[in-house]
Chain A
């Protein structure tokens, strides 16, 4: 854990590569926790990603839990890690459905509930990547809420913003993503469909 703590401190002081190096360690920690939680006596129980992320933070931060700078970097890395876990799993499951050969899914991933059906999750992810180019902070909020399942209060704290601000950011981000997913610059129809299915509308 000292590696992660050092990286968090480095990231907090603006060290350029620290945040990138943090991600695989956080990713591994989340997966380790997920596997540990599901082993043996914990049978019959599924995990909310939020719980995993909070638990990983407590474990990593220890006495430094109140270090707000490090905390924000950790949650950003955790949200990104969770996004990758869920997106990778959705892609593999869809590939399996299309008969692309045998797919090996890790047991520890199966019990993290997805926020949406696989195809929808991948569509949101794709559109979110575009949005992140325009407004990375609001995209972070979407990651925390959509992939980690955080409430406004939790996400606001993770980002270091006020709850009303988080709600405003969410409203705009959600509208932006919905319009983008509808594939046109008109109001989305009430049945959300994958983009570009209605060419020319």
Chain B
């Protein structure tokens, strides 16, 4: 479990914006003397960088395409958005 979630989130956000040596240097400093924290942050960063898997950005788009047969759709529905779709 996460002992200090706010601190962990803040360190994660900072590290996630860095790459390569800059990230390593940052983690060295932030996790000095705390190998468990380092391991935890590296696990989070690796999970973050997975392009696929659970909760990937493509998840909402994986929902089946809606086929709308709405010849009687009211006029006021035009222009409203349904999630990522806009009724034209």
A contact residues vs B (CB 8 Å cutoff): 41-51, 54, 113, 115-116, 120, 123-124, 130, 134-135, 138, 142, 145-146, 149-151, 154, 168, 171-172, 174-179, 181-182, 185-188, 190, 192
Closest B residue to A177 by beta carbon equals B55
Q: Does B68 contact A (CB under 8 A)?
A: yes
B45 within 8 A of A: yes
- CB pair B83–A187 under 8 Å, yes or no, is no
CB within 8 Å for A178 and B63 given contacts A51-B83, A151-B83 = no
Binding site for A on B (CB under 8 A): 1-2, 5-6, 9, 12-13, 16, 39-40, 42-48, 50, 52-55, 59-60, 62-64, 66-70, 72, 80-85
CA separation between A145 and B63, bound complex, in Å? Answer: 13
Asked if A116 contacts B54 (CB within 8 A), the reply is yes
Distance in Å: Cβ of A181 to nearest Cβ of chain B:
6
A176-B54 in contact (CB<8A): no
CB-defined contacts of B39 to chain A, threshold 8 Å: 185-186
B69 to chain A, nearest CB (A): 4
A171 close to B16 (CB less than 8 A): yes
Taking a contact as CB atoms closer than 8 A, the residue among A44, A49, A188 that contacts B50 in the complex is A188
Shortest CB-to-CB span from B53 to chain A, Å, is 4
C-alpha spacing A181/B80, complex, angstroms: 37
> Beyond A172-B9, A185-B39, A188-B47, is A146–B72 a contact (Cβ under 8 Å)?
no
- Shortest A13–chain B CB gap in Å is 27
Q: Are B84 and A151 in contact (CB under 8 A)?
A: yes
Q: Sort A-B residue pairs by CB-CB distance and give the 6 closest, nearest first.
A: A187-B46, A178-B47, A51-B82, A50-B83, A175-B48, A175-B44
B1, B42, B55, B72: the one within 8 Å of A187 (CB) = B42
Q: Given A171-B16, A175-B48, A41–B53 Cβ distance below 8 Å? A: no
Residue of A44, A130, A149, A185 near B83 (CB, 8 A) is: A149
Given A176-B2, A185-B39, A190-B50, answer yes or no on A48-B13 (Cβ-Cβ < 8 Å).
Answer: no
| A48 to B81 alpha-carbon distance, docked (Å) | 11
Q: Is the CB of A145 within 8 A of B13?
A: no
The chain A residue with its CB closest to the CB of B3 is A134
Distance A177 CA – B80 CA, assembled complex (angstroms): 33
Residues of A within 8 A of B46 (CB): 187-188
* Residues of chain B with a CB closer than 8 A to A42's CB: 70
10 A-B pairs, CB-CB below 8 angstroms?
A: A45-B67, A50-B82, A51-B83, A54-B82, A116-B54, A150-B83, A178-B53, A185-B43, A190-B53, A192-B53
